[in-house]
Every structure is written in structure tokens, then in C-alpha cells.
Amino acid sequence: MFRRIRGVRVVVVALVVLGAAVLAASAAAEKPVIVEVGNLRITANGGLQPTAFSKTKLTPVAFNASGKIETKDGTHPPAVQQVIIEGDKNVAVDTTGYPTCSSGKLQARDTQAALSVCKPALIGEGTTEIEVAFPESKPIPVNSKLLVFNGGTAGGVTTFFIHAYITVPTPAAVVTTVKIKKIHRGRFGTEAIATIPRIAGGSGSVKSFSLKIDKKYTYKGKKMSVISAKCTDGKIQANVTAKFADGTKAEAEIIRTCTPKG
């Protein structure tokens, strides 16, 4: 199912590390998947819960994702700069009436400080391990909590901010910006573009993560869900394109099954 563009070895990195972290909810994995491509070994898992939902109406769902990235020879993986996700038209993202936070409030703040100023806007949480590798030095693992905040909607574009905090080489917040908008491209109905800042001056890369988004709330007496979906034909589909710091561009398509109800 994977399609070779350039650098086939990093196709899976794009899907596992950031396809899920920026809410590729339309690509719901049902079982753990282990993939070995060239020097990379990837273990990935994730999905929508519940897996059975309405055939005709958008149904509130939760999204879980996790992944692990290893190289067989112990070398450092390339860093991702941008991920573009075309999501199934039967999956929707909606934060109408939900509190918002800005990127400026998250910069230069550790996890607790980010929560103290933006907790009302929190929509998801998780953890990540980032590996920092400087030339001629042993790679350094750095663990961080992941926080996903609602940045609001303007001009038809919804913004999410994914916050992590590293302490190597110096303390710094890593804030990924995700822009989501509606599109009309056949099977695809949403486009999410994630822009990832340089980590540790370009020396940092994600090695593993676990993330859950399950935010339901009430707005003007109406029950709302940040992520919802309907299963019209027994499948959910997504297309993911990733661009890397070394000039590599990779693309892949994912199709998963769902069970229609009603």
C-alpha cells in the first residue's frame, strides 16, 4: 500500500510519528503493525473508539495513537519539517465554542506552566521520547509530556497546537502548529498541515509517542465532540505526505475498516 516517492525508508516515519500526532484520525489502525523498511523498524498502533458508529450521522469518537521508531544500526532518524494529511470526508474536526489558546502563551513554558495558562483549551494528552544527537556525541533521549490545545477557528481554518518540552541541550518548548481546513477532493474532506519547528537546532527527532484525544463538551446546550465520524461504507481513508529536513519527500495512503450502525 505504500508508494515510493523519494527515500522510501522514511515513509513509515511520516505516518507513525506525525500522521497520528497531528490528528490523522481518519487513519485508524486496528492492530499493532511492525514494519521493517531498510534500516528502520517501526511499531505502530492507534484507532478510533468505538470502532462501530453510525452510518449516516457524525458520532463522537476518541482517537488513540502510539508509535515507536528504531534504526537497526542505531543511527539517528531524520527530522520531519512538515506533514500534510488529507482526511476522509466522513471524519470531522469541530471545536466550535471550545476555549482557545495561542502559540505565544505556550512558547518558553514547561509542561506545568503551559497547563496553568491554557488548561481550558486542552483537547488531548500523551507522551513522547525525543532523541537529540550531536555530531560525534552519543544520542541523548529526552522524555516529555505531550499536550494538544485548541487554537480556535478563523477564516474556515481550525488551529491546534501540540506542546512538548525538552531539557537538552537547553530547556525549550517545542510547539507544533496544525492547520485544518475543509476540502473537496473526492474521498477526502479535510486537510491538515502540521509545521514542526527545529528541535535542538535540528539535532532532535521523535523516537516514540503515545497520544489520546477524547474531548466532548457542551456548547449552548448542544453536546459536541472535537472528533466525530460516520461509517458510510465500512472504511476510513487518509493520504499522508511528509517533508524532511534532508530534502526527502514521502507519501502513503492508508485504508482501515469500520462497522456501520443504523
Give the DSSP letter string of the chain.
Answer: -EE-SS-GGGHHHIIIIIIHHTT-TTS--SS-EEEEETTEEEEEEEEEESSEEESSS-EE-EEEEEEEEEETT-PPPPPEEEEEEEEETTEEE--TT-----HHHHTT--HHHHHHHHGGGEEEEEEEEEEE--TTS--EEEEEEEEEEEEEEETTEEEEEEEEEE-SSS-EEEEEEEEEEEEEETTEEEEEEEEPPPSGGGTEEEEEEEEEE--EEEETTEEEESEEE--SSSEEEEEEEEEETTS-EEEEEEEEE-EEE-
Residue 19 has what pLDDT?
46
| Structure confidence by residue, pLDDT tens digits, 79-114 | 778 878 898 999 999 999 999 999 999 999 999 999
pLDDT at 8 over 60: no
As a whole number of angstroms, the distance between CA 119 and CA 215 comes to: 13
pTM metric for this prediction: 0.84
Q: Sorting pLDDT into bands at 50, 70 and 90, what band is 32?
A: low
Q: List pLDDT tens digits, range 102-153.
A: 999 999 999 999 999 999 999 999 999 999 999 888 999 999 999 999 999 9
**pLDDT tens profile 181-205:** 999 999 999 999 989 899 999 899 8
Q: For the chain, what percent of residues have pLDDT higher than 70?
A: 80
